[in-house]
Each structure stands twice: as C-alpha cells, then as structure tokens.
Structure 1
Amino acid sequence: MTQIFAHRGYSALFAENTMGAFIEAEKAGADGLELDVQLTKDGEIVVIHDEKVDRTTTGKGFVKDFLYKEIRKFNANKNGLKKEAIPSLAEVLEWLKTNKLICNIELKNGLIPYEGMEEKVIKLVRKYGLSDRIIISSFNHYSIVQSYRLAPEIETAPLFIEGIYMPWIYSQAIRAKGIHPKHSSMSDNIFINTMQNGIAVRPYTVNKDADMHRFFNINCTAFITDDPVKALRIRKQYEKRP
C-alpha cells in the first residue's frame, strides 16, 4: 500500500518544519516525514527549508550567517500562538526514536555548498541508530553519491523537477534505491517501470485529490503531501478493495 509522507510535517495546518508539525503528522497516522536541513555558522544541522530565515520565522538573514544559539531565538511559528524554535536535526532524530516513522532528510545544498553536510548528517543518523529508517534526498546529485559512498546502508533518492529518461537506469548508476520526482514530471508508465526495476518512487508535493487517486491507483511506493489527513482518508477507499 502506498505510504504517505508528510511534507515538512503536517504543513497544511501547522508551521512547516517544526516539532509541532512533525508530532501532528505522526498523530494523524502518516507513515513518514519529509524535512529539509541547512547548516548554521557554527556547523549545527538545523531543520529549515529556505536558505534564509525570512519567510518562515521572525528573523531575517541567511541560516549560514547565524550561530545555532542565535537562530534558536527566532519563532518558526510566526503566525501561530505557540512559539516554535527551528529544530535541530538531533532533536528530530531523538524524537524519531520514540516512534516508527520513516524520515526523508533533504539536503539543501544546491545553492549553498555546505561543507561537510553529508558527513554531519550521516554521523548523527548513525549515532541515533536510525540508518534503516532514513532516506537522504537532494537536488544535488553529487551530494547523493557522496552520501552513498559514506554510508551505503542508508537509502538515497535523487530529487527531480524535470522528467528524466529511464530513471531506473540513472538511479542504479548512482546506487540510489529511490527517486523523488515532481509529481507532474513523469507518466504513470515511467513510474510503474521504475518500480518494476526495483526503484522506489515517491513523488512530491501531492495535494490534489485527483493526484492522490492517481498514485494510489498505480500503487506508487509513497508520495509526499502537505495534508496527510486527506491522503489517509483517500487511501482508506483503496484499502477496502479486494
């Protein structure tokens, strides 16, 4: 059955990439989480999507220009009542030890080539003993290859915006066990062929009912959505089928 990954947590209703959004995704019954990581000035791995803090927090400026203790002072739930700090990856992994969720960590190193990001993330994942529940993804495919070389036991999955010819061949070439394509970038046929060739397919960001039905119909490995509750409700219709 198609797994449901909560995009930046349950971000349809809660502040994205916050502990609150992750906890609510787990409560809702999601199978997994998707989150994004950047590095602070002092090399801490923090969970935030944009290179700058401006859109999602009360701060202004680049993540890379703040010390960890400084970045923790911003409110990552600027439109909500409850204050939420930008989580550290360590905090999220610690919490993951209390549940069974799969976690897709997206390395945000396309624009800013964070030095040593792969090593730092892998070291933490191993420290918490979560290698079998983590998928490392990135639009930076050199980073994906580097992650595989450092930790062949952790699944990797390149992210794509455009369609790609025979993605299963490409995935095998870079030793990735999955692909995370934009949901509208490839046909059902390509998704099915990819899965038949042993590569997991987890499209993003699937929010419309029709798109969810599409992926349940082809029994896609998983999809990444802002609204895990809606996805779970639709999935129930397919679970009842013989």
Structure 2
Amino acid sequence: MFDILPSRSRRILVCGHRGHVVDGHENNRPALRRAAELGASLCEIDLRQTKDGRLVVFHDDILDNASTGTGLISQLDYAEISSFRTRARNGLAIDGQPIELFADILAFSRDLGIGLIVEIKDQFEGTAYLENVLAALRDAGMLERVLVSSFDYVVLRDIKRLEPRIHTMGINYHRLTEPALTARSATMDVMNTDYPQFSADLAESLHGADIGVSHYVPPPQYFRLRAGYGLDYLETLDALLRAGRIDLLVCDDVAWAMDFVRACGLTVAKVDAIS
C-alpha cells in the first residue's frame, strides 16, 4: 500500500505539479517523463470529462489557455478534442502534445514507475464519474499507486465509500481551526496545504491523527524575489523538512525540489519501492 507517512523514517515523497512544468509542458507525456527522469516519486495530473463521457488529462475547464483548441471540454466529444495539441502557458516554444485519455496516461505513468496524484476537477451528480475513475485505475493496475485529490471533500468521502482501498488527499488553501477533524470528516489520508497557509502546528495536528502532510510550494524564483526583501520562506521550509513535518512536497520544478530535500538530509521515497 501507499506509504502516506514517510517522514517517520526520514523519507519524503516529491511530486511534480502537473509533471515537471517549468519547461512549458504540463499534464502530458514530456512533463511526466522529465519528472520521472529527475527522480520524482509522483506526478500530479488533472481530470476533465468530455461531452461523451471520456476522462481526459487537462487542467482547465476550457481549452483556450493551454491548447490549440477553444471551448468547454464538457461540451465537446473526445474525437474533437483529440485533434488539438497542448501549448505552453508561459509562452515557451514546445512541441504540442495530444490531450490524452486518462487510461493512456495511467499506463504511461505505470510504465515510467511513478505514482500519481489524480485531481478531480469537475462538478457532477451521482457516483458514475467516480466509478469511471476507479475502473480506469483498476484496469491499469494503479489503484494502490495513486492519491485521488480534490478541493471538494464530498468527492473524497464518496470515492472512499466506493473503494475503501483508495487513498485520498484534500486540497486546502486555508488556516483551519481543527485540521485533523476536517480531514477525518472527509476520510482523507493526506491533506495538502499550499504556501503560505502551511504551518508547523497544522502538520502536527495531522500527524497526530496519522494523516499524511503534503505541501505545495511555488517555483524557487518566487521565493528568491521575496528573500531580497527579507522574507526567506526557504529557511522555514528547510526547518520543516528537517523536523519531519512534511511527507509530500509538491512543486512545478522537480529538479529544484529534489535538490532541496536532499540538502535537508532526506531520502526521496519511491512509490514502487514502498509497501
């Protein structure tokens, strides 16, 4: 099973947010491949559903911002979407990639030897959507090598009811009065908190309830600029990692994250090597 508390043995999971995205790719094979080459434990990907009920890997609800297409994914059949190619949000020149089916990305990630965080983005009624997600995970042999994540904690509760073996992660942007109770209410295995809301006491509350702690941080240039004004969050992050407060570090720049956690004396855990 997925080790959600590697900090207890001086290890940490490193996750590429949408893959390794700083070269312009996201949610596609080059982004995942490069993250794996750099040593990532997992990659985060995003799910959307097409008009004809196909699950595709893409972040936005519209195609306009990160592909050669236009329109709402939910209003287009996959046959239409499959003709479009990805493009970089940051203006970098990249070779456009297909917008791929979830099943194909699952198989690709399995063969790369990396785990996945699968973020469910769509809103929906009933359980058919979640049953499709679970069927794809089972068919790919990836059920126990993923975290299913969402901002919608009802989704996390419902998918755990459908498949108790699945591991789930709630995404949190807030300071919470009772982090562990919030996580338990949604049957989360892991809670992710983004910078700057993360804190040591939040991590302690979650660890006290045997809930894994994930932390998303922006790319390093974000912190370099602020360090010039006297705000050095990387010093704080170093202390948090050394103290074992974080189990999963998520970042757009996998190379930087790998170097940072190793400089803190931690071992990067591999999903295929944990039981």
* TM-score, normalised with respect to structure 1: 0.92
Q: Does 1:223 align with 2:234?
A: no
1:1-242 equivalence runs, <5 A: 1-77=11-87, 79-109=92-122, 112-113=123-124, 116-208=128-220, 210=234, 212-219=237-244, 220-239=246-265
Q: Deviations over 1:120-173 (max 9, x none)?
A: 111100111211111001011111111111111010111111122221122223
Structure 1 residues not aligned, in runs of 5+: none
The one-letter code sitting in structure 1 at the alignment partner of 2:185 is A
Question: Mean alpha-carbon deviation: is it higher for 201-210 or for 94-103?
Answer: 201-210
Q: Deviations over 1:163-213 (max 9, x none)?
A: 222211222232211111223213212112312321001122443361652
Identity between Structure 1 and Structure 2 (%): 22
Post-superposition offset of 1:34: 0.5
Distance in 2 (CA, whole Å) between partners of 1:60 and 1:153 is: 38
Distance in 2 (CA, whole Å) between partners of 1:142 and 1:173 is: 9
Distance in 1 (CA, whole Å) between partners of 2:115 and 2:94 is: 29
Distance in 1 (CA, whole Å) between partners of 2:256 and 2:156 is: 31
The one-letter code sitting in structure 2 at the alignment partner of 1:125 is L
> 2:201 aligns to what SS in structure 1?
helix
Q: Would the aligned equivalents of 2:24 and 2:94 in 1 still touch at CA under 8 Å?
A: no
The one-letter code sitting in structure 2 at the alignment partner of 1:233 is D
Q: Would the aligned equivalents of 1:132 and 1:153 in 2 still touch at CA under 8 Å?
A: yes
> 1:57 aligns to what SS in structure 2?
coil
The change in CA–CA distance for 1:9 and 1:75 in structure 2 (over 3 A counts) is: same
Q: Would the aligned equivalents of 1:212 and 1:234 in 2 still touch at CA under 8 Å?
A: no
Supply the RMSD in Å over aligned alpha carbons.
Answer: 1.9
> 2:205 aligns to what SS in structure 1?
helix
Post-superposition offset of 1:27: 0.7
Which protein has greater RCO, CA pairs closer than 8 Å, 6+ apart?
A: 2
Distance in 1 (CA, whole Å) between partners of 2:195 and 2:209 is: 19
The one-letter code sitting in structure 2 at the alignment partner of 1:113 is F
The one-letter code sitting in structure 1 at the alignment partner of 2:99 is I
* TM-score, normalised with respect to structure 2: 0.81
Distance in 2 (CA, whole Å) between partners of 1:214 and 1:228 is: 20
The one-letter code sitting in structure 2 at the alignment partner of 1:232 is M
Provide runs of 4+ in structure 1 moved above 6 Å: none
Distance in 2 (CA, whole Å) between partners of 1:114 and 1:89 is: 20
Distance in 1 (CA, whole Å) between partners of 2:240 and 2:69 is: 38
How many correspondences in the alignment?
Answer: 239
Question: Mean alpha-carbon deviation: is it higher for 13-22 or for 71-80?
Answer: 71-80
> 1:169 aligns to what SS in structure 2?
helix
Distance in 2 (CA, whole Å) between partners of 1:240 and 1:66 is: 45
Distance in 2 (CA, whole Å) between partners of 1:114 and 1:183 is: 31
Post-superposition offset of 1:214: 4.8
The one-letter code sitting in structure 2 at the alignment partner of 1:10 is H
Distance in 2 (CA, whole Å) between partners of 1:239 and 1:68 is: 46
Q: Would the aligned equivalents of 1:212 and 1:231 in 2 still touch at CA under 8 Å?
A: no
The one-letter code sitting in structure 2 at the alignment partner of 1:7 is H
Q: Would the aligned equivalents of 2:25 and 2:87 in 1 still touch at CA under 8 Å?
A: yes
